[in-house]
Amino acid sequence: MRVLIVGVSKVGESLVKYICKEGHDVVVIDTNEAKIDMITDRYDCNGFVGNGTSVDMLKKAGIDSASLLVAVTKQDEVNILCACVAKKLGIKRTIAAVRNPEYKSEHPFLKKEMGIDTIVNPERLAAGEVSRMLRYPEGVRVEQFGHGDVRVASVPVKPGSILVDVPLAKLREVVDVQVLVCAIERKDKAVVPKGDAVLKEGDKLTVLAIGDAMHEFVEKIGLVEKTIKKVLVIGGSRIGRYLLEEMQEKGISVKLMECNQEKCQMLLSKYPKAHIVCGNALETEVLKKELVGMDACVTTTGNDDENLIISMFAKSFGIDRISAEIDNNNYAKMIRDSGMSHIFSTQDVSIAGVLRNARVLSRDTKEMEISSSIKWLYTFHEGRIEAAEFQIDKAFKNCGKQLMDPSFKLRNNVLIATISRDNEVMLATGSSTIENGDRIIVVSADKHLVDAVEILA
């Protein structure tokens, strides 16, 4: 399947990386020749220098044979226009990055009248991820499926944890909480474990739970949640502003520090009730003063080096809830190896939604409408583990069979975790059945699933 990506932004490059990995034919368009040379050197894709809103350029890039266009330039208006032109040229699906809060109320119009099928806002998504991150200790990442009844978390097995050397068969007995370990990453290899697996120090677990059971589990294993009351946000970037809004809505006291005086004035006029500080966070004494009494520190300056330095200083100052915007993958790995793993990236938070659209389209044929059963998709551990939610229909041949039935064979490294039926969510067991109309959550290691039928061997 051919995918057109307009804009070699940070988000654009990350999308190229992951979509190429899934075996699609990727074509990239950007007005900057150096960026096109860079992206085509690094990845197996084609590139064109030009304007992605131009009909001639889109035709030159092969839009006639493309199924998906993703517009992720830094300009919202360019992305909107690009998606509109592409739709008029007959492409099946369009996705556009629209970041400006002023367009939020116009999303329904943009979708219905302008031909944008999906609107993504990387900065707002990143702010939401930071908000969830701060609730949990370092190394723990939690995502919610559907209406939030099901939670999937990435959890480390730290030295001295009660999980060390515990057989999976005895996990619930040890923690006294109904959770399911769906996948284990050990030494950069991810697997869906069998019942005789034993947890080891250093493992990274993908754990699933229903309702508040996840919070209980995190507390039982010693990774206690913390009530955040005061947060210092450094950097008046768009992410910083979205985070400011989100924290204020939750009743959390936020102090936003920005070194640019004009930007501070703009922030004060836009958020008159906010605590805006004009100062340079790279000046030690200035930063010390602002960190006093804070429960958490978030760095969103837009500069990886600055974010890294400030975060390390905040950690040495005694702040134990730190979240840093890091887009450089090499930096991200170094930081995780150092033990400070609350990092986020605008380029990563948008990937899951785009990949889901790409997978839906990749199975489309002339005889079939675009209607894959995949509804939600999250990736963990740099894409090695995926959790996906599927809607079951009559095409699923094993409806009515118990999961323990010998004829109900799953692919390797695939696990059915939960079954939702009639507004009730259940952890899947050997005696569970899957029925037409159910929603199931499937966790897989190193698999790119498109439809529920693909989980079967």
Is the Cβ–Cβ distance between 296 and 310 less than 8 Å?
no
Q: Tell me how far apart the alpha carbons of residues 72 and 79 are, in angstroms, rounded to a whole number.
A: 6
| pLDDT band, residue 376 (cuts 50/70/90) | confident
pLDDT at 294: 92
Q: What is the pLDDT of residues 138-162, one digit of tens each?
A: 667 777 765 567 888 888 888 888 9
Same domain, 243 and 188: no
Same domain, 161 and 93: no
Point out which residues pair with 439 in neighbouring strands: 391, 420
How do beta strands 204-210 and 150-156 pair?
antiparallel
Q: Is residue 414 part of a domain?
A: no
Amino acid at 128: G
Quote the number of domains for the chain: 3
| pLDDT band, residue 3 (cuts 50/70/90) | very high
Same domain, 334 and 237: yes
The highest-confidence range among 2-11, 43-52, 339-348, by mean pLDDT, is: 43-52
Whether the pLDDT of residue 266 is over 80: the answer is: yes
Is the Cβ–Cβ distance between 167 and 138 less than 8 Å?
no
Q: Is residue 334 part of a domain?
A: yes
Q: Between the CA of residue 170 and those of 35, 152, 197, what are the distances in Å?
A: 53, 20, 10
Q: What is the pLDDT of residues 189-237, one digit of tens each?
A: 888 888 789 999 988 888 888 888 888 888 888 876 667 889 999 998 8
Q: Between the CA of residue 417 and those of 36, 92, 245, 286, 414, what are the distances in Å?
A: 42, 32, 35, 49, 9
Same domain, 216 and 230: no
Helix intervals (H) in 61-106: 76-88
Domain assignment of residue 232, given as a range? 126-131+226-349
Q: Is residue 271 part of a domain?
A: yes
Q: Is residue 451 part of a domain?
A: no
pLDDT at 370: 38
Is the Cβ–Cβ distance between 83 and 116 less than 8 Å?
yes
Whether the pLDDT of residue 341 is over 80: the answer is: no
Residue 16, domain CATH? 3.40.50.720
Q: Is residue 214 part of a domain?
A: yes
Quickly tell me which residue has 């323990």 as its tokens: 404
Same domain, 280 and 332: yes
Q: Which of 187, 142, 180, 212 is nearest to 442 (CA)?
A: 180
Q: Is residue 307 part of a domain?
A: yes
The whole-number average pLDDT for the span 419-442 is: 88
